[in-house]
Amino acid sequence: MTSRASPRTWRTAPTWTAPATWVWPWAWPWPSWPSSPPWPSSSSRSCCGGGSWSPAAPPPPPPLLLLPQLLWREELEPCGTPCEGLFISVAFKLLILLLGSWALFFRRPKAFFPRVFVFRALLMVLVFLLVVSYWLFYGVRILDSRDRNYRAVVQFAVSLVDALLFVHYLAVVLLELRQLQPQFTLKAVRSADGPSRFYNVGHLSIQRAAVWILENYYHDFPVYNPALLNLPKSVLSKKMSGFKVYSLGEENSTNNSTGQSRAVIAAAARRRDNSHNEFYYEEAEHERRVRKRRARLVVAVEEAFTHIKRLQEEEQKNPREIMDPREAAQAIFASMARAMQKYLRTTKQQPYHTMESILQHLEFCITHDMTPKAFLERYLTAGPTIQYHKDRWLAKQWTLVSEEPVTNGLKDGVVFVLKRQDFSLVVSTKKIPFFKLSEEFVDPKSHKFIMRLQSETSV
């Protein structure tokens, strides 16, 4: 299967050199950006590329107020109290804009995306064009003419801050609120062993939906255990035997020997088809062993917990008899270690529970006065993936495979795959259907009944 998209050549962003002599901002040699996104990842720019004003744009509103004071202060008309009120307004609006931009844009990225976030890039372009337009107007109408009306300059700066605030509100709608209303249902299936989960999401791109799936995967899916995938060895070892039938008689006995060979091969095939019975009995025997090991483990843990007791403050004991939680865990672990080891080996969980991790969990349960059932909860039922140590499940890198561009939004029928070394997550998309409800009014007074009597009925 060939890819429909031609391979791209990544290009670096162009650079520019500042002129030797100072020129006004509208005359700066701004770089010409390529028409297509040249960057392979957007996460490296997520902290610096989405603020309330673009980093590539000219300076924010405060210089608009400072330049007239620095260049022609003696010629400015006194402003007085109205300008002081506008100064306070600008200060608080800039503070709100700074806090809102920090909360929305300057967050630590949760994942590295293969492509840029389209709405974030559009907002950066919008902010850049807005600030550049204001600076061009400011240079032509105010700096060149040396406007003496300082109140008009302050109101111009206030209008720029208001425009930036409205752009920030637009960013909140596009980046946060737009995805809250569910529009699609995603079904994620683990390819190796088959567990699946369903999630409702809003309007997301394919790459952001993939990150959403991974965020929920680690606490919704059980840990991947490749040891549980193999059939019993007694079933796998049953292979069809090869037969060779030789004719030692005359030529007229050829038909008889052929029929005998077919009968022998058919009998071997029937024996092979009975392997499902062997698998059934093997499963039943395994479940019996698991129940037996589980009962022994529960009894051993219950007895071990009866040997420790929390020391009360008013009780006076010999200092040699007092133990901290770590020492208490080591003291009672010996009585349950054999039963725990056999149970984990029978259920094939031994790669995910080391002796040190069991001791740490036992110490945690003793410290917080947890019961034996609370201690055994981690081992008797399959827990989520994130419950285990990171070395056992954490994948350093996932690969997103999709026939559609990953910057496209979700659509009905879109399928993408998240691959790692030992398995993959296959995600299919279904659009939530549109529901049409009709109303039917029922008069409460219409609830009247009569009793129908028959001649055979005894009352």
Q: What one-character-per-residue DSSP string does 264-318 give? A: HHHHHHHHHHTHHHHHHHHHHHHHHHHHHHHHHHHHHHHHHHTT--PPPTT----
Asked whether the predicted pLDDT for residue 175 surpasses 80, the reply is yes
pLDDT of residue 297: 92
Asked whether the predicted pLDDT for residue 184 surpasses 50, the reply is yes
pLDDT of residue 230: 66
**At 321, is the pLDDT very low, low, confident or very high (cuts 50, 70, 90)?**
low
For residue 356, how many other CB atoms are within 10 A of its CB? 9
| Lowest mean pLDDT across 105-119, 207-221, 269-283, 387-401 | 269-283
> And the tokens for 258?
């052929």
Q: Read off the pLDDT of each residue in 319-345 and give the average, rounded to a whole number.
A: 85
The more confident residue out of 241 and 269 is: 269
Q: d(Cα 453, Cα 459) in Å, to the nearest integer?
A: 9
pLDDT of residue 31: 36
Q: Read off the pLDDT of each residue in 50-72 and give the average, rounded to a whole number.
A: 62
Per-residue pLDDT of 116-170, as tens digits, reads 888 888 988 998 898 888 888 888 888 777 877 878 888 888 888 899 999 999 9
The more confident residue out of 44 and 155 is: 155
If DSSP codes are grouped into helix, strand and coil, which group holds residue 74?
helix
Q: d(Cα 428, Cα 404) in Å, to the nearest integer?
A: 13
**At 343, is the pLDDT very low, low, confident or very high (cuts 50, 70, 90)?**
very high
Question: What is the domain partition of the chain in residue ranges?
Answer: 38-177, 184-223+393-431, 277-311+318-392
Average per-residue pLDDT for the chain: 76
Residue with the two structure tokens 């529970």: 353
Q: Read off the pLDDT of each residue in 228-247 and give the average, rounded to a whole number.
A: 54
The more confident residue out of 54 and 418 is: 418
In this prediction the pTM is 0.67
Q: d(Cα 52, Cα 130) in Å, to the nearest integer?
A: 11
pLDDT of residue 36: 36
Q: d(Cα 322, Cα 288) in Å, to the nearest integer?
A: 41
Q: d(Cα 86, Cα 81) in Å, to the nearest integer?
A: 9
